[in-house]
């Protein structure tokens, strides 16, 4: 897809026709993308889909073979890269920080290189729940604590754009919840977050928009709901019914949607196109409390992911 529109200077991240090849292999193939300020944006794809390469190019770690990448109106490479990078926070996947430094020393080291004020370091450690361990050497940290320290490092210098690569690796459920709460707080302050994760259920409820990559291209782009609307994936109703009415409900649903319900323990399961959702509810209404329970399943991000990337 050839890009025609100019880069969007208002966007936090703007990519136009970004391509990267290694020899004859197109790792990334003509990507156009605008990520708005204050957006939490997910980037997902199989290993080798090109998302890591795209990530590295957005960070300026690798040069694009062609195309342009602009962060907050400034190019990430070449002249002026220092200013652009001072406004980036980055947490690489599986990073191993320096064992011999304490948590606080680690942050001091990165703060100096980023020209961030040193006195913000203790506060950041507190923010990620490491206030109790700031003087302990990192070698004594658990995997989760190391990941939090990495996150604190990414927050140094009040970045405008955060790039987080599998940021919840090694975190327990409470820590994951805290992590996303922190992202929401940052978001209200106008911070943009670009995040990758293999844990799709985790991203599903937490990103504003996402891109599904495969074969170096963006195959789908939008909010989870928008992606659902784009696909033909069915809704699934699981109905718990009084024993006497199963037959009648089945007939009514078939009449309303044209789809045949299949029997499950204690009731029926119906898969139907999204647009029949209200028709199903209307068909069920006459049965009143004979419908004992109803569960509605939307296609999950995982379903969408396999639908778009295969």
Partner 1 sequence: MELTQIFTLAAKEFRDRMRNRWVLAVALVFTVFSLVIAYFGGAQQGAVGFRSIEVTIASLVSLVIYLIPLIALLLGFDAIVGERERGSLDLLLALPITRLELLLGKYLGLAAALTLSTLAGFGLVAVLLYQQLSWAGLYHYFGFMISSVLLGLAFLSLAVLLSVVARERTRASGMAIALWFFFVLVFDLLLLGVLVATGGHFGGDVFAWLLLLNPADVFRILNVFSLDDVRTLYGLSTIVPASLGSQGLLGGVMVLWIVLPLLVARWRFR
* Neighbouring residues of 132: CB distance < 8 A, sequence distance ≥ 6: none
Query: 169 or 257: whose CB is closer to partner 1?
Result: 169
Query: 94 or 247: whose CB is closer to partner 1?
Result: 94
Choices 90-98, 118-126, 227-235, 276-284; region in contact with partner 1 by CB under 8 A: 90-98
Query: 139 or 292: whose CB is closer to partner 1?
Result: 139
Place of tokens 């999950």: 300
- DSSP letters spanning 47-71: TTSSHHHHHHHHTTSS--SEEEEEE
Min dist CB 186 to partner 1, Å, is 18
Which residues are bridge partners to 20 per DSSP?
A: 28
Helices (H) and strands (E) counted in the chain, each on its own, are 11, 14
Using CB under 8 A as the binding rule, whether residue 98 contacts partner 1 is answered as: yes
Min dist CB 213 to partner 1, Å, is 19
Min dist CB 275 to partner 1, Å, is 46
Using CB under 8 A as the binding rule, whether residue 100 contacts partner 1 is answered as: yes
Using CB under 8 A as the binding rule, whether residue 86 contacts partner 1 is answered as: yes
The arrangement of strands across the sheet holding 291-297 comes to: 262-264, 267-272, 235-241, 291-297
Using CB under 8 A as the binding rule, whether residue 21 contacts partner 1 is answered as: no
Residues 25 to 64 in contact with partner 1, rule: CB under 8 A: 56, 59-61
* Cβ-contact 41, 211 below 8 angstroms: yes
Ramachandran quadrant class, 216 (left: phi over 0; alpha: psi -120 to 50; beta: rest): left
Tokens of 153: 């490092």
Considering only residues 13, 88, 125, 301, which one is a binding residue for partner 1 as defined by CB under 8 A?
Answer: 88
End-to-end Cα, the chain, rounded Å: 20
- CA count, 13 A, side-chain hemisphere, 216: 15
Considering only residues 16, 20, 51, 114, which one is a binding residue for partner 1 as defined by CB under 8 A?
Answer: 114
Query: 99 or 293: whose CB is closer to partner 1?
Result: 99
By CB under 8 A, the count of residues binding partner 1 is 27
Query: What residues line the site for partner 1 (CB under 8 A)?
Result: 56, 59-61, 81-83, 85-86, 88, 90, 92-98, 100, 109-110, 112-115, 153, 163
């Amino acid at each position: 897809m050839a890009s025609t529109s100019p880069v969007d200077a208002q966007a936090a991240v703007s990519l136009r026709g970004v391509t990267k090849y290694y020899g004859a292999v197109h790792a990334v193939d003509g990507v156009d993308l605008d990520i708005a300020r204050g957006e939490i944006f997910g980037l997902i794809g199989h290993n080798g889909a090109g998302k890591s390469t795209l990530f590295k190019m957005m960070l300026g770690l690798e040069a694009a073979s062609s195309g342009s990448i602009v962060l907050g109106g400034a190019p990430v490479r070449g002249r002026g890269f220092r200013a652009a990078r001072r406004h980036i926070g980055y947490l690489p996947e599986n990073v191993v920080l320096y064992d011999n430094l304490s948590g606080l020393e680690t942050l001091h080291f990165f703060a100096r290189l980023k020209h961030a004020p040193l006195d913000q370091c203790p506060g950041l450690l507190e923010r990620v729940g490491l206030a109790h361990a700031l003087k302990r050497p990192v070698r004594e940290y658990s995997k989760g604590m190391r990941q939090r320290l990495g996150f604190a490092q990414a927050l140094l210098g009040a970045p405008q754009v955060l790039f987080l690569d599998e940021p919840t690796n090694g975190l327990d459920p409470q820590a994951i919840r805290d992590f996303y709460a922190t992202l929401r707080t940052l978001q209200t302050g106008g911070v943009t977050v670009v995040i990758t994760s293999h844990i799709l259920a985790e991203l599903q409820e937490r990103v504003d928009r996402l891109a599904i990559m495969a074969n170096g291209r963006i195959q789908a782009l939008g909010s989870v709901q928008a992606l659902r609307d784009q696909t033909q994936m069915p809704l699934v109703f699981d109905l718990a019914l009084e024993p006497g009415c199963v037959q009648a409900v089945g007939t009514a649903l078939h009449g309303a949607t044209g789809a045949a319900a299949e029997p499950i323990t204690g009731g029926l399961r119906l898969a139907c196109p999204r647009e029949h959702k209200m028709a199903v509810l209307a068909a069920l209404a006459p049965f009143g409390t004979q419908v004992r329970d109803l569960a509605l399943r939307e296609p999950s991000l995982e379903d969408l992911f396999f639908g778009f990337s295969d």
